Amino acid sequence: MTDPTTYLSHLELGEPDKTFLDSNELIINMGPQHPATHGVLRVILKLDGEKVLGTECVIGYLHRGVEKIAENRTYTMFNPYVDRMDYVAAVSNGLGYCEAVEKLLNIQAPPRANYIRVILTELNRMASHQLWLGTHALDIGAMTPLFYTFRDREEILKIFEKYCGARLTTHAFRIGGCQYETYEGFERDVKKFLDFVPPRIDEYEELLTTNRIWLERTRNVGKISAADCKALGVTGPVLRASGVKWDIRKAQPYAAYPEFQFEIPTGANGDTYDRYMVRMQEMRQSLRIIRQAVEGIPEGPIMAKVPKVMKPPVGEVYHSIEAPKGELGYFVVSDGSTQPYRVRVRPPSFVNLQALDVMVRGQLVADVIAVIGTLDIVLGEVDR
Amino acid sequence: MAEEPKSPTPPSGEPKPPAGQPIPGSVQSTPAQKPAEKAPEKAAAATKPAGPTPVPWESPLVAKLKAQYGSGVREANTYLGQNYLVLEPSITNEVLQILRDEEEFDYCVDVTAAHYPKREKQFDLIWILYSFARNQRLRVKTMLADGESFPSSVAIWPTTNWLEREVFDMFGIKFDGHPDLKRILLPEGWKGYPLRKDYGIIQQDEEWVKTNLGIESGQ
């Protein structure tokens, strides 16, 4: 492998602090095999003692060439592949892809399908945030939340399993709607979950929100301003925690979202604690959306009229959704054949990870762990 | 690109597309370039109702750019409710700067490319922009020949740093003035650019695989 120092050649590093002992700069590798990098992420750190002078991410260990695969599959055949990018929020990935192709085909999913889509996507957002909370807290040193969140996330995965047979890479939606009608007792299960989970969220909050160690480890750690977020293209809860009230579900609504009432939680400081608070409130907002959807779910078909052989007209389209991590976009080009000419995935994790350097410079090395956790990246999506 | 490193073996074993389907790289007309002319033909040939066609996009922004650059703005259309501009490469970087500074497109969502090997200018280079103030999206597109480089937009939107690196990694398009242009997803020293249409789906850099992984082939 290449000498790590060559990676940092472009960084304009500040002078190390002069102490009476004269400190030394140290270059160390964090990862790719490191439990706190949430996958195979390698971060090269330039340190002055405990202080981070600069970082460089080395990514691509999980690169599978998803965009190339797309060009060699039909539109339908590529659908399950998108689940393998952000594998903890597979339903969101599928929704973005299906809607992008539907736009290209100029068809719309029927209302009932849209409601099912919203229910499952919001459940998945909830599951993704729970997984994030458990692992993030574990990284920082709180072990209990992990067991609580995994216990409760199980209930969501059970609903997915009953609905489509899979727990993680669900392939829940099809281009044009949903393949499966809701199972007998789906609404009862979802409502039961809605009653079951709010006290559990209170429980997570009891463990962390006013916990002194948690506050010390997250407040004023990894701060990023709204202007920096916009310049770096950072989206999702990270952007909202910096005080920008922007959510694609509200700004450019899709599926059945215009029909539901919900708030966009925002933070003020843009630090790790605010991002924690934003995600906690997002979970409660998701429950609100699910409740409205499950109570108002209309009857009717779940699949639009879709040709058996899909040949979208020549053209290109960009469609994005608010995935749990931020803006997930699909840019699809059709040449009129059965296979997409080009599929570009705009992954939120990849773009958000770029902000790591800005967020940790000048902070302590222990905070790098906290910041990687708070960015909520999934390496399957970063590397695609 | 003249100095483009060739893979030690020619693309072999590429799965043939099913009969009756065009090979993705072999389209005669370029879909992105001339949808306006192509779509009515298709509609006439098929008995199905006419599909959506791009319609001219009228707005103060387009009028301003047309007044300033004239024929440099080659297309300004709306397709399926999405606005896009097709610009001459020579003015594109200037227009991007104007879009951010004067038109509030302060968020660069994505930079990407597409390869059309049959065309003289083989590459589409595409920026997807968003304006928080206007709640509007805009696609800007320009065309580049193989080997042509393009000014980097890192100074305009810092987010394009990694995005341009990915375009370089996958298509081999060079960005002048980029602070750190090197491969991002593939290992350094990899030969070839996978998202070009002439790069087969199971083609790989066998030399790299042999040296670094110690196996004959990763396939």
CATH of the domain at A90: 1.10.645.10
What is the DSSP-derived secondary structure letter of residue B46?
A: S
C-beta separation of B206 from B20 below 8 A: no
pLDDT for position B213: 83
A131-to-A266, A282, A377, B191 alpha-carbon distances in Å: 21, 14, 11, 38
A38-to-A372, B33, B74 alpha-carbon distances in Å: 8, 41, 46
- Return the H-helix or E-strand segment holding A328: strand A326-334
Q: Does A77 touch chain B (CB under 8 A)?
A: no
Query: Burial, A376: exposed, middle or buried (Cβ in 10 Å; 0-12, 13-18, 19+)?
Result: buried
pLDDT for position A180: 86
Task: Measure the CA–CA gap between A117 and A121, rounded to whole angstroms.
Answer: 6
Tokens standing for residue A295: 């109570």
Query: In this structure, are A99 and A172 located in the same domain?
Result: yes
Residue B140 has pLDDT above 80, yes or no: yes
Q: Does B126 touch chain A (CB under 8 A)?
A: yes
pLDDT for position B39: 43
pLDDT tens digits, residue range A35-51?
Answer: 777 778 888 888 887 88
Q: Determine if residue B91 is left, alpha or beta; phi over 0 gives left, psi from -120 to 50 gives alpha, anything else beta.
A: alpha
pLDDT for position A15: 57
pLDDT band of residue B38 (cuts 50, 70, 90) is: very low
Task: Measure the CA–CA gap between B111 and B125, rounded to whole angstroms.
Answer: 7
Query: In this structure, are A20 and A129 located in the same domain?
Result: no
Model pTM? 0.81
pLDDT tens digits, residue range A318-340?
Answer: 999 999 999 999 999 998 889 99
> Which of A58, A78, A101 lies at the terminal end of a domain, its last residue?
A58
pLDDT band of residue B202 (cuts 50, 70, 90) is: confident
Q: Are A318 and B31 within 8 A, CB to CB?
A: no
Task: Measure the CA–CA gap between A183 and A166, rounded to whole angstroms.
Answer: 14
Query: In this structure, are A335 and A253 located in the same domain?
Result: yes
Q: Does B36 touch chain A (CB under 8 A)?
A: no
C-beta separation of A266 from A244 below 8 A: yes
- Structural domain range at position A320: 66-356+364-383
- Return the H-helix or E-strand segment holding B142: strand B136-144
Q: Does B31 touch chain A (CB under 8 A)?
A: yes
Query: In this structure, are A139 and A265 located in the same domain?
Result: yes
Quote the mean pLDDT of chain B. Answer: 77
Quote the mean pLDDT of chain A. Answer: 87
Pick the residue of B110, B152, B160 with the most A CBs within 10 A to test the interface with A by mutation.
B110
Query: What is the C-alpha R_g of chain A?
Result: 21
Query: In this structure, are A14 and A87 located in the same domain?
Result: no
Task: Measure the CA–CA gap between A140 and A207, rounded to whole angstroms.
Answer: 13
For chain A, give the percent of residues with pLDDT over 70: 94
Contacts of A384 in chain B (CB under 8 A): 185
Query: In this structure, are A115 and A53 located in the same domain?
Result: no
Q: Distance (Å) from the C-alpha of residue B31 to the closest C-alpha of chain A?
A: 5
Count the neighbouring beta carbons within 10 Å of the beta carbon of residue B13.
10
pLDDT for position A198: 92
C-beta separation of A360 from A368 below 8 A: yes
pLDDT tens digits, residue range B4-22?
Answer: 444 444 444 444 444 444 4
Residue A11 has pLDDT above 70, yes or no: no
pLDDT tens digits, residue range A285-307?
Answer: 999 999 999 988 888 888 888 88
A245-to-A234, A239, A274, A279, B85 alpha-carbon distances in Å: 13, 8, 14, 14, 28
Query: In this structure, are A40 and A110 located in the same domain?
Result: no
Select the residue of A230, A317, A344 nearest B82 (Cβ to Cβ): A317
Query: In this structure, are A258 and A128 located in the same domain?
Result: yes
Q: Are A314 and B38 within 8 A, CB to CB?
A: yes
Residue A362 has pLDDT above 70, yes or no: yes
> Which of A40, A58, A76 lies at the terminal end of a domain, its last residue?
A58
Q: Are A316 and B31 within 8 A, CB to CB?
A: yes
Count the neighbouring beta carbons within 10 Å of the beta carbon of residue A8.
18
Query: In this structure, are A48 and A125 located in the same domain?
Result: no
Domain tally, chain A: 2
pLDDT for position B126: 93
pLDDT tens digits, residue range A211-240?
Answer: 888 998 888 888 898 988 888 999 999 999
Task: Measure the CA–CA gap between A258 and A383, rounded to whole angstroms.
Answer: 33
Task: Read off the amino acid at residue A156.
Answer: I
- Angle, vertex CA A100, rays to CA A95 and CA A104, nearest 5: 145
Residues forming a β-bridge with A174: A177
Query: In this structure, are A23 and A160 located in the same domain?
Result: no
pLDDT tens digits, residue range A101-142?
Answer: 998 888 889 999 999 999 999 999 999 999 999 999 988 888
C-beta separation of B187 from B206 below 8 A: no
Query: In this structure, are A137 and A35 located in the same domain?
Result: no
Task: Measure the CA–CA gap between A26 and A6, rounded to whole angstroms.
Answer: 14
Pick the residue of A66, A72, A238, A335 with the most B CBs within 10 A to test the interface with B by mutation.
A335
Query: In this structure, are A14 and A116 located in the same domain?
Result: no
